Amino acid sequence: MTAVPSPEEVKDESAGVDRLSVVIVNWNGAGQLQRCVAAVGESTYVEIEEILVVDNASTDGSLASIDDLDGVRVIQTGANLGYGSGANRGIRESVAPYVAVLNTDVELERGALGRMVGFLSAELTCGIVGPRLLDASGGDPGSCGRRPAFWDAIGRKFLLHQIFPIFNFRLLRPRIPTDVGWVTGACTVARRSALDSVGGFDEAIFMYFEDLDLSERLRQAGWRTCFVPEAVGCHSGGGSSRQALERMLLVSEVSYRYFTRKHYGGFFATLLATLTPIEMTLRSLLWMGIYLASGRRRSEAVVRLRAYRKAFLNDFRDAQPPSVPEEL
């Protein structure tokens, strides 16, 4: 595999090749959106053609934080479309041959976008790349992994991913550029032709697992997914989820069932759904222990226990949107 070019080696953008559109999907991102946009604006060794902020009907005044920033265009969706649909809206309105999609809680180092675009420019069969995203404490939780297998999903139903990392979507932490099965959707840079070949994100997925789905569909279309660890950013994580935790826990289960049925088939999806009561029982026992042991996390535990009860009962009415896929 071609080594990642240093920022100094990335081609001069005056050649008109390595132009980049940046799409940032925002929903109530106050305190994060401005920092995310500002970091993109400071990118080096890449020509930022445009910064498009797709706003999913925010109500927190977060857009006011970018009023004074030049070169930013806001696209109002008028409703909370979810992450993938919001990203698609921005992708369709963007113009450059490479497209970055970011969540508002990501702040990239100055050379990150240039390194990823440079990698795509050198690796013509690579359709999408992701950076190494550190958490707020500087740790590396993993930003990519091997292709998930059905047996991993079985392990997750018994919470084995809490003990054995292989069951946690086969997380990897490569130190060199590597072909992988998926990269996190919190920050990606993709070749427009690759996105066009698969129709972008699957809009039936409101949130969660849209990144695994996109990488898998790109693979089926003949494109590689690659991880570029020299491109680094910080992903504080969970901004949208924390604001509506109960709903997002249910949305996550709905999205995973949809992903499973789509990629593993009806039999395996039904089997996983059958194991859901076991998973929710185990999760409830875990969080009841946390409730009793940690006063600081009691309010979170109450919300989680309520969501797990609904999932146990197969009650996903509060997961709207998205519309619950048929045959859950």
Together in a domain, 196 and 51: yes
303 and 210 part of one domain = no
Domain assignment present for residue 205? The answer is yes
Q: What is the pLDDT of residue 175?
A: 95
pLDDT at 76 over 90: yes
Round to whole Å and give the CA distance between 302 and 298: 6
H-helix or E-strand spanning residue 147:
none
Q: Is residue 324 part of a domain?
A: no
The mean pLDDT value for 226-234 works out to 97
State the helix-helix crossing angle for 245-264 and 210-220, rounded to 10 degrees. Answer: 20
Mean pLDDT of the chain: 89
In a domain, 326, yes or no: no
235 with 248, same domain: the answer is no
Cα gap 19→189, rounded to integer Å: 12
Statement: residue 251 has pLDDT above 70 = yes
**C-alpha closest to that of 244 among 84, 54, 28:** 28
> By residue range, what is the domain housing residue 299?
244-319
Are 210 and 304 part of one and the same domain? no
What CATH number has the domain bearing residue 226? 3.90.550.10
**In the structure encoding, which two tokens stand for residue 283, read together?**
């999760």
**Pair 155, 281 in one domain:** no
Residue 230 domain-assigned? yes
Per-residue pLDDT reduced to its tens digit, 122-158: 999 999 999 999 999 999 999 999 998 888 888 889 9
Q: Is the pLDDT of residue 320 over 80?
A: no
In a domain, 123, yes or no: yes
Q: What do you get for the CA distance between the two ends of the chain, in Å?
A: 41
155 and 255 assigned to the same domain:
no
- Which run of H or E residues covers position 307? helix 298-312
Crossing angle of helices 266-293 and 150-157, in 10° steps, is 30
Q: Which of 239, 257, 279 represents a domain boundary (last residue)?
A: 239
Q: Are residues 129 and 72 in the same domain?
A: yes
Looking at 216, 239, 262, which one is the last position of a domain?
A: 239
Closest-CA residue to 1 (of 209, 249, 294, 229):
229
With beta carbons less than 8 A apart as the criterion, state whether 50 and 71 touch.
Answer: yes
Domain boundary pick from 239, 261, 281: 239
Looking at the structure, do residues 153 and 179 belong to the same domain, yes or no? yes
| Token code pair at residue 68 | 């004074």
Buried b (16+ CB within 10 A) or exposed e, 133-167: bbeeeeeeebbbbebbeeebbebbbeeebeeeeeb
The SS3 assignment for 183 reads: strand
Peptide bond into 325 cis (omega under 30): no
Spell out a b/e string for 48-60, using b for 16 or more CB atoms within 10 Å of the CB, else e.
Answer: bbbbbbbbbebee
pLDDT value of residue 238: 61
Judgement on whether residues 230 and 257 belong to the same structural domain of the protein: no
* Together in a domain, 218 and 275: no
- State the pTM of this model: 0.87
Q: How confident is the model at residue 3 (pLDDT cuts 50, 70, 90)?
A: low
Answer yes or no: is pLDDT of 15 > 50.
no
pLDDT recorded at residue 85: 96
Tokens of residue 20, six digits = 């980049």
**Measured between alpha carbons, how far is 146 from 149 in angstroms, rounded to an integer?**
9
104 and 32 in one domain? yes
Q: Which tops the pLDDT comparison, 248 or 220?
A: 220
Token pair in block for residue 188? 């990606």
Length of the chain: 328
Q: Is the pLDDT of residue 17 over 60?
A: no
State how many domains the chain has.
2
Residue 122 is assigned to a structural domain of this protein = yes
The position carrying tokens 């045959």 is: 327
What does the radius of gyration of the chain's CA atoms come to, in whole angstroms? Answer: 20
Work out the average pLDDT over 21-29.
95
The answer to whether residue 14 is domain-embedded is yes
Residue 71 lies in a domain: yes
Q: Is the dihedral of CA 73, 77, 81, 87 positive or negative?
A: negative
- 119 and 266 fall within a common domain: no
